[in-house]
A and B are shown apart, each in its own frame.
Chain A
Amino acid sequence: MIVYRYVAEALFFFFTALIFLGGFVAIRSRYLMNAVLGLALALSGIAGLYFHLGSPFLALMQILISVGAVCVIIAFGIMVGPRPKPEAERRIAGRRNIFLAVSACSAGFMLLIAVIVTATWTPAAIRTGDFSVKHLGENLLNQFCLAFELISVVLLAAIVGALIIARIGREETGP
């Protein structure tokens, strides 16, 4: 049985490596399409971490929604809209910009890592520990019904709004 533990641990490191590889590709690549592929890679790695966190349902949702829908929407946005513009893409950011980015990131990182290391996290006194999809579904449709409806209303509003915005932009410039 101990072998399975080590296999799971190796998979954990594999997924973590996938996240950071994807993140690196997404922020360093010069072409937007490569950045989207990096984003898809990182989101798949996060789905793997959801498996480790005891929720296969959310892992599949992550693959379905984030990798399947969001990345495809962004890829559509790249293909339909702007023509690839080499000078805007390849223009290397000025030194001030890099300095700003690195200093903002390192300051935030230091601050939050200090919080993470020094804080003591105490688990709740009573934990049901029921990670099953059945329990999740019952909660989603009884106690957290409002959240469930909120997701659907937000998605509906976003889809209708996106259609209207895209249409207005097209009408004003003419065919």
Chain B
Amino acid sequence: MMPSDNLTTYLVIALLLLVTGIYGMIRHRTFIGMLISSEFILNGAALNFMAFNRFLAPNPAVGQIFTLIIMGIAAAEAAVVVSLILMVYYKYRSIDPGEVRDLKH
């Protein structure tokens, strides 16, 4: 059986995307780097849905619709987080998570 016809291959790829996202989330020293890592996590989840949809699901439309929702949420999340980062930058003059400690400045 070819690797591209195998459910496990896609699950492992999605798992590696998740691990990449978590590693980047811990390692990056800026909010924008953490946002980039969260995109990896969301796309790993979407790939999981698509893989289960292709190999197991009774109705192939369901997984595709759920993946569309994940894409929409990822886009909305990116827009909101970028504007929050801009606001934090105007207030604190920094986007380093270690420097932004106070709730009220």
Interface size on A, residues (CB 8 A): 94
Q: Contacts of B40 on A, CB cut-off 8 Å?
A: 23, 26, 39, 42
Q: Is the pair B54, A53 in contact by a Cβ cutoff of 8 Å?
A: yes
Given contacts A12-B4, A81-B95, A127-B57, contact A39 B39 (CB under 8 A): yes
Interface of B is mostly: helix
Cα separation A100 to B25 with both chains bound (whole Å): 11
Cα separation A77 to B40 with both chains bound (whole Å): 18
B-contact bits for A108-142, CB 8 A (1 contact / 0 none): 11001100110001111111111100011011100
The contact of A129 among B60, B77, B80, B83, by CB within 8 Å, is B60
Q: Which residue of A lies closest to B15 (CB)?
A: A112
Interface size on B, residues (CB 8 A): 74
Given contacts A27-B23, A58-B67, contact A124 B61 (CB under 8 A): no
Q: Is the pair A53, B13 in contact by a Cβ cutoff of 8 Å?
A: no
Cα separation A158 to B55 with both chains bound (whole Å): 33
The contact of A39 among B36, B47, B58, B89, by CB within 8 Å, is B36
The contact of A66 among B2, B43, B50, B57, by CB within 8 Å, is B43
| Interface set, chain A 137-170, CB cutoff 8 A to B | 138-140, 144, 147-148, 150-151, 154-155, 157-159, 161-163, 165-166, 168-170
Q: Contacts of A136 on B, CB cut-off 8 Å?
A: 60-61, 64-65
| Interface set, chain A 73-90, CB cutoff 8 A to B | 73-74, 76-78, 80-82, 85, 88-89
Q: Contacts of B39 on A, CB cut-off 8 Å?
A: 39, 43, 66, 70
Q: Contacts of B69 on A, CB cut-off 8 Å?
A: 147, 150-151
| Interface set, chain B 66-105, CB cutoff 8 A to A | 66-69, 71-80, 82-91, 94-96
Chain B interface (Cβ < 8 Å from any Cβ of A): 2-4, 7-8, 10-13, 15-20, 22-24, 26-30, 32-33, 35-37, 39-40, 43, 46-47, 50-51, 53-62, 64-69, 71-80, 82-91, 94-96
Cα separation A163 to B84 with both chains bound (whole Å): 10
* Least Cβ–Cβ distance between A1 and chain B, in angstroms: 14
The contact of B89 among A82, A117, A138, by CB within 8 Å, is A82
Q: Is the pair B26, A101 in contact by a Cβ cutoff of 8 Å?
A: yes
Q: Is the pair B75, A65 in contact by a Cβ cutoff of 8 Å?
A: yes
The contact of B13 among A19, A109, A162, by CB within 8 Å, is A19
The contact of A165 among B46, B83, B89, by CB within 8 Å, is B83
Q: Contacts of A23 on B, CB cut-off 8 Å?
A: 16-17, 20, 40
Q: Contacts of A89 on B, CB cut-off 8 Å?
A: 29-30
Q: Contacts of B20 on A, CB cut-off 8 Å?
A: 23, 26-27
